[in-house]
Amino acid sequence: MKTFRTTSIMLALTVIANIALATGTLRVNILPINADRALVAISNNAETKFQISIKDAAGGVVYFKETEGTQADYRKVYDFSKLETGDYTLSVDVDNVKGVRDFSIDNGSIIVGKEKTLAAPYFSFNNDVLRVAFLNHTGDKTSLYIYSGEELVYSKALENSFSVNEGLNLSKLTTGNYQVVLASGNEIYDYAVAVK
């Protein structure tokens, strides 16, 4: 049992270290040039494709682009003159990491918020044990749910600490397919589990 616990702790620490390294490399900046234009500067330590989107306050996508080919740096001047006054979110997705910058268009100026980094959680299911590791960069309220179809069979509020690690023994669940959902702030992540 002690070996199992030590192995589990080492696995969790390795996963968290890998997630931390991945999230520490993506940088997203919006540098206003004038009332209508801003330089969007994105950098990553490894060459990859960037998925760039801008959403309005209602969550509607007003812009989407996936870069062609792989690159480590992306720089482009964006014309925001067609955007209405309001709040927007620029998101950059790279593998399982998302860089986010909120910005506002107000009275002919571009106001840029702080950069946020979101990393997808690590899920694994082996020998009836579900493991979840998540770096809660934003410190948001985080909860874990397990569904069988539309029925909620388990829920738990997780610590709002920076590093969330959870291990659940699912051996008492009936045989079938389950959906594991981790909700943190406005982000929702899911993982399918087949209990045999």
Going residue by residue through the chain (196 aa), what tens digit of pLDDT does each one get?
444 444 444 444 444 444 444 444 889 999 999 989 999 999 998 899 999 999 999 999 999 999 988 999 999 999 999 999 999 999 999 887 889 999 999 987 999 999 888 888 999 999 999 999 998 877 788 999 999 999 999 999 987 777 888 999 999 999 999 999 999 888 899 999 999 8
Strand partners, 86: 105
101, 45: one domain: yes
Q: Is the pTM of this model over 0.85?
A: no
- How many domains are there within the chain? 2
Q: Is 4 domain-assigned?
A: no
Among candidate residues 58, 88, 118, the one where a domain is terminated: 118
- Residue 33 tokens read as 């040039």
pLDDT at 186: 81
Could you list the residue range(s) of the whole structural domain that residue 141 is in?
121-195
pLDDT at 25: 80
pLDDT at 62: 96
136, 179: one domain: yes
SS (H, E, C) 30-69: EEECCCCEEEEEEEEEEEECCEEEEEECCCCEEEEEECCC
82, 165: one domain: no
Q: Is 111 domain-assigned?
A: yes
Q: Is 13 domain-assigned?
A: no
143, 170: one domain: yes
pLDDT at 116: 85
108, 126: one domain: no
103, 36: one domain: yes
Among candidate residues 97, 118, 139, the one where a domain is terminated: 118
Among candidate residues 86, 118, 150, the one where a domain is terminated: 118
pLDDT at 143: 92
Contacts of 45 (CB under 8 A, 6+ apart): 25, 72
Strand partners, 76: 40
Q: Which of 141, 151, 150, 130 is nearest to 188 (CA)?
A: 141
pLDDT at 21: 41
Q: Is 3 domain-assigned?
A: no
pLDDT at 152: 96
| CATH number, residue 146 | 2.60.40.10
